[in-house]
């Protein structure tokens, strides 16, 4: 089986253009990118689905070896329907977003900006500064990190005043486990 080179180049252009447009910040470009990507994948499925052949109709007197595989065509038809449904949903989201903000551009969420501005590993959401899950009180026995962001076990803490990540703890004496 040999594939048509111009068809493969067209598939590459469609998929690359779709990925590029999906990475944009405007909703309409994302929608167009999704459509381009879907069409490129559908064309890829059709290309690798096998050579052309006779229609796969039951009751015909043609040879089964010369019939085209209907699975690729059925998958493409299903993918087209799913892509149109997703496109309608994204279009409804774009309309709703435009009615609320009168902009097509998707801005950064304030929480995403906070995540980007983190300076230490101790500020990560998976790092807990407490061992008390009920009160959430900060204790020195929570997570500690060195200057490189590596975790420090509690048993290896020598000078508690040098750890800058635990500035919010009121008293180191009261923070010791009982």
**Positions in the chain short of pLDDT 70:** 1-2, 60-65, 119-149, 151-155, 157-178
Based on the domain organization, do 21 and 103 belong to the same domain? Answer: yes
Is residue 37 assigned to a domain? Answer: yes
Is residue 162 assigned to a domain? Answer: yes
pLDDT value of residue 42: 95
pLDDT value of residue 19: 97
pLDDT value of residue 64: 67
Q: How far is Cα 14 from Cα 8, in angstroms, rounded to an integer?
A: 10
Based on the domain organization, do 48 and 94 belong to the same domain? Answer: yes
Q: How many distinct structural domains can be found in the chain?
A: 2
CA 52 to chain centre: 36
Based on the domain organization, do 172 and 142 belong to the same domain? Answer: yes
Exposure string (b/e) for 91-100, b if CB count within 10 Å is 16 or more?
A: eeebeeeeee
Q: How far is Cα 15 from Cα 10, in angstroms, rounded to an integer?
A: 9
What is the residue range of 130's domain? 119-178
Q: How far is Cα 87 from Cα 31, in angstroms, rounded to an integer?
A: 7
pLDDT value of residue 156: 73
Q: How far is Cα 28 from Cα 75, in angstroms, rounded to an integer?
A: 26
Q: How far is Cα 107 from Cα 100, in angstroms, rounded to an integer?
A: 13
Based on the domain organization, do 72 and 144 belong to the same domain? Answer: no
pLDDT tens sequence across 100-138: 988 888 888 888 887 777 766 556 655 555 555 566 666
Based on the domain organization, do 78 and 123 belong to the same domain? Answer: no
Based on the domain organization, do 104 and 137 belong to the same domain? Answer: no
The residue length of the chain stands at 178
**Two tokens at 115?**
């995540």
pLDDT value of residue 108: 82
Contacts (Cβ under 8 Å, ≥6 apart) of 65: none
Based on the domain organization, do 14 and 33 belong to the same domain? Answer: yes
Is residue 47 assigned to a domain? Answer: yes
Is residue 167 assigned to a domain? Answer: yes
pTM (predicted TM-score): 0.60
Based on the domain organization, do 73 and 125 belong to the same domain? Answer: no
Helix, strand or coil for residue 138?
strand
- Rg of the chain in Å (alpha carbons): 29
pLDDT value of residue 175: 46
CATH number at residue 46: 1.10.287.3510
């Amino acid at each position: 089986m040999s594939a048509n080179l111009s068809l493969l180049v067209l598939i590459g252009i469609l998929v690359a253009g779709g990925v590029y447009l999906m990475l944009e910040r405007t909703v309409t470009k994302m929608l167009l990118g999704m459509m381009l990507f879907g069409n490129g994948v559908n064309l890829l499925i059709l290309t690798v689905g096998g050579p052309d052949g006779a229609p796969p109709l039951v009751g015909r007197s043609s040879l089964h070896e010369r019939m085209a595989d209907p699975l690729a065509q059925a998958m493409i038809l299903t993918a087209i329907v799913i892509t149109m449904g997703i496109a309608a949903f994204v279009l409804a989201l774009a309309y709703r977003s435009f009615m609320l903000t009168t902009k097509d551009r998707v801005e950064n969420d304030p929480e995403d900006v906070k995540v980007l501005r983190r300076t230490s590993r101790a500020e990560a959401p998976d790092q807990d500064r407490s061992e008390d899950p009920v009160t959430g009180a900060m204790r020195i026995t929570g997570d500690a990190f060195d200057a490189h962001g590596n975790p420090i076990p509690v048993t290896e803490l020598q000078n508690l005043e040098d750890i800058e990540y635990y500035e919010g703890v009121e008293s180191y004496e009261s923070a010791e486990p009982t």
